[in-house]
Structure 1
Amino acid sequence: MQFRLLSAIMVFLGSYLPLAVILFSQNIDYSAWRNSFCWPLDPGWCEIPVHDAGYSIGLLLVTLACFCLTVFSLALIHPAQEINVCEAEYVPTDLMNYTLPYVVSFMGINYHETDKFVGFCVFLAWMFWITHKSGQVFLNPILIALNWRLYNITYNFAGSSDIFKGRALVKGHLELGRYRQSSVQDIQIIKP
Structure 2
Amino acid sequence: MEMRLLPALILFLGSYLPLSLILLIQDVKESSWNASLCKVAAWSGCQLPELSNPGRALGFLFICGLSFVVFMILMKSLSGHSSLEVVDSKSIPNDLINYVFPYVVSFMGLDLGVNGKFFGFLLFIALMFVITYRSGQILMNPLLLVAGWQLYELNIVTEGHKRCVKALSEEPVRNGDQLESCLVHGIYVLHRRDK
Considering the TM-score relative to the shorter chain, is it more than 0.5?
yes
The amino acid across from 2:54 in the alignment is A
Contact 2:81–2:182 under 8 Å retained in 1: no
Q: What whole-Å deviation, never above 9, does each CA across 1:29-83 have from its counterpart, x for those lacking one? A: 25258599xx9xxxxxx99821111111110000000111111222233547532
What CA distance in whole angstroms lies between the structure 2 residues aligned with 1:98 and 1:14?
11
What is the DSSP-based 3-state SS (H/G/I as helix, E as strand, rest coil) of the residue aligned with 2:51? coil
The amino acid across from 1:62 in the alignment is I
Instruction: Say whether 1:130 aligns with 2:131.
Output: yes
Q: What whole-Å deviation, never above 9, does each CA across 1:119-158 have from its counterpart, x for those lacking one? A: 211111111111111111111221122231233444334x
Tell me, which stretches of 5 or more residues in structure 1 are unaligned?
Answer: 40-45
Cα gap change, 1:32 to 1:162, in 2 (>3 Å): closer
> 2:177 aligns to what?
178
Tell me, which stretches of 5 or more residues in structure 2 are unaligned?
Answer: 39-43
Matches of residues 27-42 of structure 1 in structure 2 within 5 Å? 27-29=27-29, 31-32=31-32, 34=35
> 1:21 aligns to what?
21
Matches of residues 117-156 of structure 1 in structure 2 within 5 Å? 117-156=118-157
State the 1:114 CA deviation.
1.1
> 2:102 aligns to what?
101
The amino acid across from 1:110 in the alignment is D
What CA distance in whole angstroms lies between the structure 2 residues aligned with 1:32 and 1:163?
60
**What is the TM-score when the length of structure 1 is the normalising length?**
0.79
What is the DSSP-based 3-state SS (H/G/I as helix, E as strand, rest coil) of the residue aligned with 1:163? strand
State the 1:13 CA deviation.
0.4
- Aligned-residue sequence identity (percent) comes to 33
> 1:169 aligns to what?
168
Contact 1:183–1:189 under 8 Å retained in 2: yes
Cα gap change, 1:31 to 1:125, in 2 (>3 Å): same
What CA distance in whole angstroms lies between the structure 1 residues aligned with 2:131 and 2:21?
24
What CA distance in whole angstroms lies between the structure 2 residues aligned with 1:64 and 1:184?
26
> 1:190 aligns to what?
190
Cα gap change, 1:153 to 1:47, in 2 (>3 Å): closer
Contact 1:82–1:178 under 8 Å retained in 2: no
**What is the TM-score when the length of structure 2 is the normalising length?**
0.78
Cα gap change, 1:94 to 1:165, in 2 (>3 Å): closer
State the 1:98 CA deviation.
1.0
Q: How many residues align?
A: 183
